[in-house]
Amino acid sequence: MSSGELRQRNVSAGTGNRAAGHPMTMANYEESHLSARALLAASPAHSSDVLKMHVPVLYTFLPASVQWMLSRCCPRGWSPQWKRRHLIALGEYLYRFKDEGGSTPKGSPIPVATADARIISTDDGPGEFSDIGEINVVLNLLPAGYSAVFVVSSIGKTQYFAVENREEAMLWVNSLRQMRQDAITRNMGHSKDIPYPAEWKSFDASAKRLKDQKTRIKNKLEAINKKEQEMQSLGGASAGLGYLS
């Protein structure tokens, strides 16, 4: 089964459940429960509109002259671009939505307990980040009206967000760092006397299930892609041997 067929089967399975009298699968339930309006109504630590940077994987490895050409002469999808998002920090997760009315999160919720947040600037040296080339791309492409960028690094992934000024960036960084400390303290059992809203616990549980589900799907797709590549390699090798014989 190819990765495309796996995606199609997931869609078909969801449709079949609805047709059989199940109006919503468990996966859809989790996402709808985590709507932007529901989270905003639960008094989040912080929320605001931001711009999220999308950088193609190979872009940062290209020479500056090629990057310049891509950004001006090629389709937008070939070069880095900013996309508007609405961030909500609540409980033990950071959520990304298309806007304040978003019905489902964009991507997996980010667990703050394993995330690091900080502001980046042109003063950052090689010791601050492993990929200064990507940092320069982000800062050089800041759109008009935005003067600050903060970065959220989690396990295996780094994301960049642009805001209007450094004060807003610092507010995000401080909020996420405080949430991280609170989450670590709770997980260690050192905050039993500090009340934690039951509604937040419910959101946290849904966020974890949604994140785990997306991780399983990602792992399945990667395994299928790897198998397809191995089969193609074997096929090529067999064809080569047949030609030589």
What is the structure's pLDDT at 29?
46
Helices (H), 64-197: 64-73, 132-140, 166-187
Give DSSP secondary structure letters for 159-206.
EEEEESSHHHHHHHHHHHHHHHHHHHHHHTT--TTS---HHHHHHHHH
Contacts of 188 (CB under 8 A, 6+ apart): none
What is the structure's pLDDT at 22?
39
Report the candidate in 60, 74, 86 with the shortest Cα–Cα distance to residue 158. 60
pLDDT digits (tens, 9 = 90+) for 144-203: 999 999 999 998 788 999 999 999 999 999 999 999 999 999 989 887 788 899 999 999
pLDDT digits (tens, 9 = 90+) for 8-57: 554 444 444 444 443 434 444 456 689 999 999 999 999 999 999 987 66
Q: Which tops the pLDDT comparison, 119 or 62?
A: 119
Is the Cβ–Cβ distance between 40 and 226 less than 8 Å?
no
pLDDT digits (tens, 9 = 90+) for 87-109: 999 999 999 999 999 999 999 99
What is the structure's pLDDT at 199?
95
Lowest mean pLDDT among 115-119, 181-185, 210-214, 229-233: 229-233
Read off the pLDDT of each residue in 112-141 and give the average, rounded to a whole number: 70
